[in-house]
Structure 1
Amino acid sequence: MKVTIFPTEPFEVENGILTVVQTSSPKFYTDFIKGLSTENGLTISEDDEILNFASNVTYLKDVVTNPYVFDAFKSSLQNQVVDNLNENNRQELFRIDRRIKDIFLQSAYMEDVPLEINDEWNLKKMVKYAGIQMVSSTVETPYDIITSVLNLFKKFNPKKLIVLNDLFNYLNSSQISDLIQVIKALDLKVLILNFSDSFKKDDFKKCRNYYIDADLVRWTD
Structure 2
Amino acid sequence: MILPPPLFDAEFAQRFDALLRWRRDVRHFATQPVAEQDMADLLAQAALAPSVGNAQPWRFVHLRTPALREALAAHVDEQNALAARTYAGQPRYEDYTALKLHGIREAPELMAVFCDEQALAGHRLGIATMPEMLRYSCVAAIQTLWLAARLRGIGLGWVSILDPQTVTAMLDVPPQWSLIALLCIGYPAEPSDMPELEQRGWQSREPLADRVFER
Which of the five TM-score ranges fits, normalised by the shorter chain? under 0.3
Structure number with the higher strand fraction is: 1
Please give the TM-score of this superposition, normalised by the length of structure 1.
0.24
Could you say which structure has the larger radius of gyration? 1
